Amino acid sequence: MILTEQIRERIRAEFPKYPDKRAVVLPALHIVHDELRSVPHAAIEEIAGLLEIHPAEIHDTMSFYQFFREEDRPLGKRRVWVCRSLSCALRGGEELLESLSHKWRVAPGGTTDDGRVSLEYAECLGACEGAPCVLVNDECHMNVSAEDVEQIVGE
């Protein structure tokens, strides 16, 4: 069993918020991904059991969104999304992504060897007024430089 009772309880707590258990697939994936930094195959089986659906339905949702990592590619301690929208690109977003990729020696979509940072690009973070912007885990930072991001990640 890969899901702790605490994780299972968090998933069960979502049930009353939706018309049926099937609708809890996405919240369940987020809960597991946040806790384990990936969604192992065994967790897919266990989520399916809790929701009383076939594991393929969990996997379909997981692969559709491409947000979730499988166990062979877990997230680092921090997930850094660099915005690539037009506003951010015009204000240095592409250069920011390239600079971080070079400094951390990791391509977008990858994780540093020490597991500290997963670097991603986002098509839009919805913070155009603060371009270029990044999302570090769940916190948006605007008008940033590579040095700013390094300091934020270091905290």
Peptide linkage before 16 cis (omega within 30 of 0): no
Confidence of residue 102 (pLDDT cuts 50, 70, 90): very high
**Domain 78-154 indexed as CATH 3.40.30.10:** yes
pLDDT tens string 60-96: 999 888 789 888 888 899 999 999 999 999 999 999 9
Residue 155, pLDDT score: 65
Where do the structural domains in the chain lie, given as residue ranges?
5-65, 78-154
Q: What is the mean pLDDT of residues 122-148?
A: 93
Q: What is the C-alpha to C-alpha distance for residues 56 and 47, in angstroms, rounded to an integer?
A: 11
How far is the C-alpha of 21 from the C-alpha of 12, rounded, in Å? 9
CATH fold for the domain made of 5-65 = Arc Repressor Mutant, subunit A (1.10.10)
